[in-house]
């Protein structure tokens, strides 16, 4: 019974630590890719009428706006950008992409664009062609040096209407940031080229802003919107991904509760084991009581027995949980190979690989929960042994 109790607690704590490490890793990698491949804040213009009387959200004085925003304390990067959705074609294949038009000096400020998980080509050639996410390049079957065609339905205006705009570009850079939804849909063009292609001459679609403390992005909203001027709208990275982050937080809480129940079930083995021990050692307890041992001493003896099971089981579970988080890559590779591959689908889980990140508070929560439940479960059978009547215990000895 002791061995079963110890193994049960160790497995429950191992599952709790490993699961919390994976959830923390998933949340960390998701936020890291958001902040490394996207702007922390994006400034838009409110809808207004342009010189032709048409509704527009184009930013005309983007250079002056960028200069004003850069003067806000804590702003690290402010850059005008063109953004649009197009179709890209090569080798008889087509793919939908989201194109970002950026100036070379500005795009080099995107950390995961310059230092991605993997890449081919050179960012020094950014102005000479198009940069593609690895998923887009794989879908089209292209590599650095190949040519692709960009196709826009809103293209050249003729006497017979608007004709689609088609233009060919050299692929100069292919990057993989580790998130499926970015690698599979993202493409970059030089800013001036994007202005021409999207008919945005002299304007920008948005201003991308990076700040020193993206986790406290809300404190920058008011100063930046004042610097941007009237008719400006700000969208932060929390606004764009808030629902997903909230879903992750909810899932973390639910997962912790479910695994806490597993730990509780495991500690019930301590209760059953101690109750059996009290029953089998009833005569010994009676003899000790007649020799003068107090109720408190008997309680401490049985409490230490149960607590020792909880402590040893918890330590074993923590050690294996930490080792699992540290060596998750080879473990996952082995499991994936044993099951024939396809265990991790990036298109469903966004990230290209299973992440794990050890956080002190996650491990501490698992330890405190396990020890608390183990100590609590020990009290009932220990008190039962302490209150045993020596006469009744020795009646049939």
pLDDT digits (tens, 9 = 90+) for 93-117: 999 999 999 999 999 888 888 888 8
Write the pLDDT tens digit of every residue in 173-185: 999 988 888 889 9
Provide the pLDDT for residue 109. Answer: 86
Same domain, 176 and 80: yes
The answer to the question of residue 34 being in a domain is no
pLDDT tens digits along 118-149:
889 988 889 999 999 999 999 999 999 999 99
Q: 202 is in which domain, residue-wise?
A: 47-230
User: Would residue 368 count as lying in a domain?
Assistant: yes
pLDDT of residue 379: 84
Mean pLDDT in residue range 370-395: 77
Residues 206 and 349 both lie in one domain: no
The verdict on residue 217 lying in a domain is: yes
pLDDT at residue 82 above 90?
yes
Q: Is 113 found in the same domain as 62?
A: yes
Are residues 274 and 196 part of one domain?
no
Residues 155 and 252 placed together within one structural domain of the fold:
no
The whole-number pLDDT of residue 191 equals 93
pLDDT at 307 over 90: no
Are residues 66 and 164 located together in one domain of the fold?
Answer: yes
Q: Are residues 11 and 160 in the same domain?
A: no
How many Cα atoms are found within 13 Å in the side-chain-facing hemisphere of 349?
A: 17
Domain final residue, candidates 230, 252, 276: 230
Q: If pLDDT is split at 50, 70 and 90, which confidence band does 22 have?
A: confident
Q: Are residues 55 and 201 in the same domain?
A: yes
Domain boundary, last residue among 199, 230, 261 = 230
- Weakest-pLDDT range from 167-176, 294-303, 341-350, 375-384: 341-350
In a domain, 33, yes or no: no
| Residue 392 pLDDT grade (very low, low, confident, very high; cuts 50, 70, 90) | low
- Examine residue 42 and state whether it is found in any structural domain, yes or no: no
pLDDT in tens, 189-240: 999 999 888 888 888 999 999 999 988 888 999 999 999 888 889 999 888 8
Residue 161 lies in a domain: yes
327 part of a folded domain: yes
* Per-residue pLDDT tens digits for 293-305: 777 787 888 888 8
Same domain, residue pair 220 and 251: no
Query: Are residues 292 and 173 located together in one domain of the fold?
Result: no
Q: Are residues 340 and 196 part of one domain?
A: no
Domain count, the chain: 2
- Based on the fold, state whether residues 83 and 216 are members of the same structural domain: yes
The pLDDT value recorded for residue 395 is: 61
Mean pLDDT of 259-266: 86
Report whether pLDDT(159) > 80: no
In a domain, 41, yes or no: no
Last residue of a domain, one of 203, 230, 257: 230
């Amino acid at each position: 019974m002791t061995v079963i109790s110890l193994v049960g607690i160790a497995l429950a704590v191992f599952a709790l630590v490993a699961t919390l490490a994976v959830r923390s890793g998933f949340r960390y990698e998701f936020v890291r890719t958001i902040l490394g491949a996207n702007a922390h804040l994006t400034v838009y213009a409110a809808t207004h009428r342009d010189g032709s009387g048409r509704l527009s959200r184009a930013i005309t004085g983007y250079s002056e706006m960028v200069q004003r925003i850069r003067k806000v304390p804590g702003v690290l990067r402010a850059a005008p950008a063109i953004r649009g959705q197009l179709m890209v074609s090569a080798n008889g294949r087509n793919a939908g992409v989201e194109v970002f038009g950026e100036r070379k000096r500005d795009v080099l400020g995107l950390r995961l664009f310059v230092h991605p998980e993997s890449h081919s080509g050179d960012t020094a050639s950014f102005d000479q062609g198009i940069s593609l996410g690895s998923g887009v390049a794989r879908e089209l079957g292209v590599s650095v040096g190949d040519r692709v065609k960009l196709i826009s339905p809103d293209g050249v205006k003729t006497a017979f209407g608007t004709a689609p705009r088609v233009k060919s570009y050299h692929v100069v850079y292919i990057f993989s940031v580790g998130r499926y939804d970015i690698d599979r849909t993202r493409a970059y063009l030089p800013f001036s080229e994007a202005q021409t292609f999207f008919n945005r001459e002299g304007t920008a679609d948005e201003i991308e802003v990076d700040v020193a403390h993206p986790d406290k992005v809300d404190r920058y909203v008011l100063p930046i919107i004042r610097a941007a001027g009237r008719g400006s709208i700000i969208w932060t990275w929390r606004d764009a991904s808030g629902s997903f982050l909230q879903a992750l937080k909810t899932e973390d809480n639910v997962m912790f509760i479910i695994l806490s129940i597993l730990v509780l079930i495991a500690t019930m083995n301590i209760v059953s084991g101690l109750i059996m021990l009290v029953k089998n050692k009833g005569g010994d307890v009676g003899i000790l009581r007649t020799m003068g041992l107090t109720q408190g001493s008997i309680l401490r003896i049985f409490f230490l027995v149960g607590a020792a099971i909880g402590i040893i089981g918890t330590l074993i579970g923590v050690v294996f949980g930490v080792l699992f988080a540290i060596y998750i890559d080879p473990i996952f590779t082995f499991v994936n190979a044993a099951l024939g591959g396809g265990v991790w689908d990036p298109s469903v889980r966004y990230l290209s690989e299973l992440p794990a990140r050890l956080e002190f508070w996650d491990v501490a929560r698992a330890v405190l929960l396990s020890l608390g439940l183990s100590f609590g479960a020990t009290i009932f059978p220990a008190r039962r042994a302490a209150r045993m009547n020596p006469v009744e215990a020795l009646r049939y000895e």
